[in-house]
Amino acid sequence: MNKTTKILTIQDISCYGQCSITVALPVVSAFGIETAILPSAVLSTHTSGFTDFTVRDLTEDLPEIRKHWEKEGISFDAIYTGFIASQEQLDYIKDIIDSRLKDGGLVFVDPAMADHGEFYNGFDQEFADAMGELCKLGDYILPNTTEACYILHKPWKETFSKEEMLEMAKELSQFTKRYVILKGYENDNHEMGMIILDKVEDTIDIVYNDKVDYVSHGTGDVFASSFVGSTMLGKSSSAATKIAGEFTKKAIEKTIGDETHTYGVKFEQAIPELYDLLKTF
């Protein structure tokens, strides 16, 4: 019997709205990878476009869950973090990584806390500094330009030149064990570029996907989750980035034209196309 790869993803559950665990669990599972979850909070909906949503903070549950897993001998081949509800939770998550990650296991950190030049509701620079410390445990970190700027204490702007993006990736290398995947570069050909820096091999590259003019909540989670799945199947960082970018684009294309679908992208309809992407890249 083949060994089963097991991943733990730590982020919130938005009961309605396609983001965080409701994206990570089905997408990573679609790669044939057993996916366990550790919710940082439970929300009635996500926080973009909804009002009066409910929030149940699960900070106090995290150490108790870790203790139970230790007792049961439960451990993971990889840990993938996304939206974390509070700074206090970051310390608990470090303990979980330290105790529940198998020897040689991988850590993926998506520092989901900001976009379009602004923090998400409830976050601030102090949280960004703490998130930067969590990133240092990551074999892969996947910030967008806003998150990168907050981690680096740099001013954000709408567009960055290629040279600025490459320099930012180099500066971010101090916040990762190996890989920086920096999202958000647009070139003159209307393509979206992801900067890939490997600090161990001392290489830096850019992978491009065609840009789709559509903004939606949850696309970062779609990208990160498909990147994690591709990487765990043995794809190179460049191939995993290309697959993640193409899958995200396909999910967006499935959503365009449906004016009632304003709370995420229809990634579920794009999952069958993942298998072609895995064969192509």
Q: What is the pLDDT of residues 176-210, one digit of tens each?
A: 999 999 999 999 888 999 999 999 999 999 999 99
Q: How far from 90 is each of 11, 154, 238, CA to CA, in Å? A: 11, 22, 29
Least confident range from 94-98, 141-145, 187-191, 246-250: namely 187-191
Q: What is the mean pLDDT of the chain?
A: 95
Cross-strand bridge partners of residue 8: 36, 79
Please, which pLDDT band fits residue 2 given cuts at 50, 70 and 90?
A: low
CB 195 within 8 A of CB 166: yes
The whole-model pTM stands at 0.97
Confidence at residue 196, expressed as pLDDT on a 0 to 100 scale: 98
Q: Which residues have C-beta within 8 Å of that of residue 7, sequence separation ≥ 6?
A: 28, 33, 34, 35, 36, 76, 77, 78, 79, 80, 228, 232
Q: How many Cβ atoms from other residues are within 10 Å of residue 154's Cβ?
A: 15
Tokens of 66: 């870790």
Domains of the chain are 6-280 (3.40.1190.20)
Q: What is the pLDDT of residues 37-81, one digit of tens each?
A: 999 999 999 888 888 999 999 999 999 999 999 999 999 999 999
Confidence at residue 147, expressed as pLDDT on a 0 to 100 scale: 98
CB 222 within 8 A of CB 214: no
Confidence at residue 190, expressed as pLDDT on a 0 to 100 scale: 85
Confidence at residue 1, expressed as pLDDT on a 0 to 100 scale: 38
